[in-house]
Structure 1
Amino acid sequence: MYKQSVMAAALAAAFVAPLHAHAADDKDLAEIRAQIKQMKQSYEARLTALEQRLQDAQAALAQAQNAAAPAPQAPAAPATPATPAVAQEAPPETPVPAAGGTAAAANAFNPQISLVLAGTYANLRRDPTQYRLQGFLPPDGDVGPGARSFTLGESELTMAANIDPMFQGQLTFSLSGENTVSVEEGFMQTRVLGGGLNLKAGRFLSSIGYLNSQHAHAWDFVDAPLVYQAFLGGQYKPDGVQARWLAPTDVFLEVGAEFGSGRTFPGNDRNKNGLGSTAVFAHVGDDIGDSGSYRAGLSWLHTASNDRAYDENGVPFAFSGHSNVLIADAIYKWAPNGNPTQQNFKLQGEYMRRNEDGALSAASADGHYDRTQSGWYLQGVYQFMPTWRAGLRYDHLVSGTPNAAILAVNDFGNSALYPSLSTFSPSRATAMVDWSPSEFSRFRLQLARDKSQSGASDNQIYLQYIMSLGTHAAHAF
């Protein structure tokens, strides 16, 4: 096309030039011919360069697609009709380029880097340093309402990349407001084992339950449900290996197992070789018509501890024994005709049941300890406008009656002095509304009435912001 335009211009100039020969001397004609020649050469060079770039891009794309297989994906079938686009899932998410794409080929050795910034303002009626879940042995981890006034929440720095056609890796640092840095996740996983099988090794958010595998910035509320705080210390993050199998069926079906060191609560470091914890899980999901989808799961965690210590009323306690946690979870998502951008609704709940069996010691007393406890939460979140959501959550725990030999000695049966050994059912009601001006930012107001201790209700008000910088992989269904 460029060549034809150049030739047309040259012919026009050739026909017009004789009509004006009397006004142009030989020098003028030479300059016109030189300009035409220069224009022709310039357009030909540009056209040749464009054709070469097109060929190079096509060749690079074909080579990358042949060299790299697609990475295994989490829930596929159930997420089709009602997967939220902007506000229903975590706000700061931008899909990572698929393996084998031009972006991945051009940046094969450059990891995707993302930073999530979070902060809160908390107004708490009761002193948060006195917070406890009455009727439960104090857990390790992130438990309680947090500090009063302004606090820098947990920020996350993540680096992830395809290592080669066989492996990919991810490292996530947790940056706390107390100026501490810890490894939230650091793992490698396979990409092309085939047959729906995937292996992961390192430190990772366990796939037990539903909420456990999500980072805190993806939660629909400021804090974790009470069952997660009481039974898992906030979140269960083992150091170990995970094997997951995705069935080749129209209905989403996956099963998996995890084997870890057992150093994570409800276990602790026992300084032993071999396996310290075992977890198994199964998830199933499917579409419900054109507007709905669901996922349900069942998980089991087995771990142990040796002198898992805590202090109460100035007395050191320690538990040694086995912990078994059973988890049932379910989630339903709705969006009109599968389009969640205008409106959508999510109903989510989990039930946990834990049994701890072993020995409990305190000062000079010790003896057998056996206790079965349970709890659940149910929450609903409705996006009523493209950038606005509102949600309600209710938590409930049942402490169970402890079978503990030490209750008969040293006044350890006094619930006022030793509330962890008492019988109580903590509960909490929470409401929230949030605004997400884009998929990279969110502002949230949350109100809660916490009844975790007998006769001591706590009214809690939170203001939270979540900001995302850089590329962040989308979360699972």
Structure 2
Amino acid sequence: MHTFKRAALGAAAMIVVTPAAATDVEQDELAAVRAEIRAMRQAYEARIAELEGKLERLETRSEQPPAAVAEPAAAAGAPAAQRRRVYGNEFNPSIGVILNGRFSAFSESDSEIAGFGTGEEGERGREGLAVDESELNVAASVDDKFYGSMTAAIVREEGEDKVELEAAYFQTLGGAGLPTGLSLKAGRAFWTLGYLNEHHSHADDFADRPLPNRVFLDNTYNDDGVEFSYVLPTALYSEIGGGLFRGDDLPFGETGGSGPEAWSLFGRLGGDIGFNQSWRIGAYVLSGEAAGRVTNEGDVSFSGDTDLYVADLRYTWAPTGNARNQELTLQGEFFRRDEDGSYDVGAGPVRFDDAVNGGYVQAVYKFRPQWRVGARYSRLQAPEVPAGLVGSALDGGGHDPEAYALMLDWTHSEFSRVRLQYNREELSDGLQDDQFILQYIMSLGAHGAHKY
């Protein structure tokens, strides 16, 4: 009996203890799983917090770029096509080389522009195989306040290779402490005067520049001086500016003084039309004193007041909404030169007070990502020469010089371009020059994006 009771009590105890023991084991396992999940959650939260902190630092750095990638104040508010980063280098200078060469064939040996004196850069160039103007450019942010650039051109003149300083300037950045939208540039640069003058020739849509740029500016006005520009806080891109210059470059020539002998003013407006169109218009004036401006290889010199007025218009349209695939560009500039002084053609000074006009229009169509075709027409108005200049190099016989150009170019990448161009120039009465040009442009090293 006692044995039976003890067995019964033991069985009852096992029934009671076993579930309790099982419950403790399960609780231990659950606690272990919960602890593992908690540890994993803490590890992941720590990793996520670390990544979020890194992302925040990168976003802050992107929103507030260092001086090495800061854009000039003048870039703010520009049309979408113009809001491209121009300066993308670190404090280490970007160094680039532009190789520019061509083969040219002309039907006429004479290329004088009747009624106008031209500088050496404004001439049509050499026939046959030739290395054209090649460039060496060094550029970098100086610090958080200034950007600097220098461009040297290697050219052949009179059978000799020469190095010419095209540009050497500094420009303020957004951190320079100037009011928002205000920028200052000083040194030697391609100053703001119409559309083409701000650009290096290798960035042009054609192998040569239009007649007005060749005659009035000897291709490009890059005098020594200082220029300011201010982008207004308006809905449209609105920019005003001006400059003071030494006055040693055409249309003025060597003044012999300490300057400044010339000044400029300009204003521009631009904007976007939808997502695939943009436009810009501008008006400019450049005024100064010429003292013995020599043209036509020293045969003609001018002394007196020179005022040059320019208006430009540029319109771009990407039919597919993607300018990399297709793009149509319409562009034009109008020039008016007003001079009051005297010309010396070897027989003594002759009084001259007259204004002449010139201009060009062009259209360029990118019909495939790597292929473009373009057409351009440029014209000059013949000056009315006084009796003392009849028969001189400035007597064009009333003929208005004009030129037609057709081009087709292939751009394999942003670093290489090959262009075929045909020109028909009627620079003198009864003289028609048919020109064929095959040009290559190769870019080595770093090179900033060109302006709109």
| TM-score normalised by L of structure 1 | 0.77
Match of 1:158 among 114, 124, 137: 137
2:287 corresponds to: 302
- Mapping 1:50-69, distance limit 5 Å: 65=64, 68=67
| 8 Å contact kept, 1:95–1:474 | yes
| 8 Å contact kept, 1:160–1:171 | yes
Distance 1:347 1:246, change over 3 A: same
2:167 corresponds to: 185
Alignment partner of 1:135 is 2:115: yes
| 8 Å contact kept, 1:262–1:268 | yes
| 8 Å contact kept, 1:75–1:476 | no
Aligned mates of 1:338, 1:168 — CA distance in 2: 33
Match of 2:101 among 100, 119, 122: 119
| 8 Å contact kept, 2:407–2:419 | yes
- Mapping 1:8-407, distance limit 5 Å: 65=64, 68=67, 70-72=70-72, 74-75=74-75, 77=77, 79-80=79-80, 96-97=87-88, 107-108=90-91, 110-127=92-109, 130-136=110-116, 138-177=117-156, 178-192=160-174, 193-310=178-295, 316-336=299-319, 338-402=321-385, 404=386, 407=387
Aligned mates of 2:234, 2:394 — CA distance in 1: 50
Aligned mates of 1:258, 1:248 — CA distance in 2: 21
| 8 Å contact kept, 2:357–2:380 | yes
The RMSD of aligned alpha carbons is 2.8
One-letter amino acid of the structure 2 residue matched with residue 357 of structure 1? D
Q: Give the drift of 1:285.
A: 0.2
1:413 corresponds to: 390
Distance 1:442 1:208, change over 3 A: same
One-letter amino acid of the structure 1 residue matched with residue 429 of structure 2? S
Q: Give the drift of 1:121.
A: 0.4
Tell me whether 272-281 or 179-188 shows the greater mean CA deviation: 272-281
Structure 1: state its 5+ residue gaps: 1-50, 86-93, 98-103
Deviation sequence 1:183-214 (CA, Å, 0-9, x none): 11100111132321000110000111011100
1:90 corresponds to: none
- Mapping 1:420-459, distance limit 5 Å: 420=395, 422-459=397-434
Aligned mates of 2:63, 2:273 — CA distance in 1: 37
SS in structure 2 opposite 1:212? helix
SS in structure 1 opposite 2:258? coil
Aligned mates of 2:400, 2:420 — CA distance in 1: 27
Alignment partner of 1:460 is 2:435: yes
| 8 Å contact kept, 1:328–1:350 | yes
Distance 1:183 1:420, change over 3 A: farther
Aligned mates of 1:76, 1:470 — CA distance in 2: 27
Structure 2: state its 5+ residue gaps: 1-49
Aligned mates of 2:266, 2:409 — CA distance in 1: 32
SS in structure 2 opposite 1:283? strand
Distance 1:475 1:67, change over 3 A: closer
One-letter amino acid of the structure 2 residue matched with residue 476 of structure 1? K
Deviation sequence 1:49-75 (CA, Å, 0-9, x none): xx9xx98x969x859958648332545
One-letter amino acid of the structure 2 residue matched with residue 133 of structure 1? I
One-letter amino acid of the structure 2 residue matched with residue 445 of structure 1? L
| 8 Å contact kept, 2:253–2:293 | yes
Q: Which structure has more RCO (C-alpha within 8 Å, separation ≥ 6)?
A: 1
SS in structure 2 opposite 1:248? coil
Deviation sequence 1:120-170 (CA, Å, 0-9, x none): 00011111xx3211011x122412221111110111111111111111100
| 8 Å contact kept, 1:83–1:333 | no
Aligned mates of 1:131, 1:387 — CA distance in 2: 33
Q: Give the drift of 1:77.
A: 4.8
Aligned mates of 2:62, 2:411 — CA distance in 1: 40
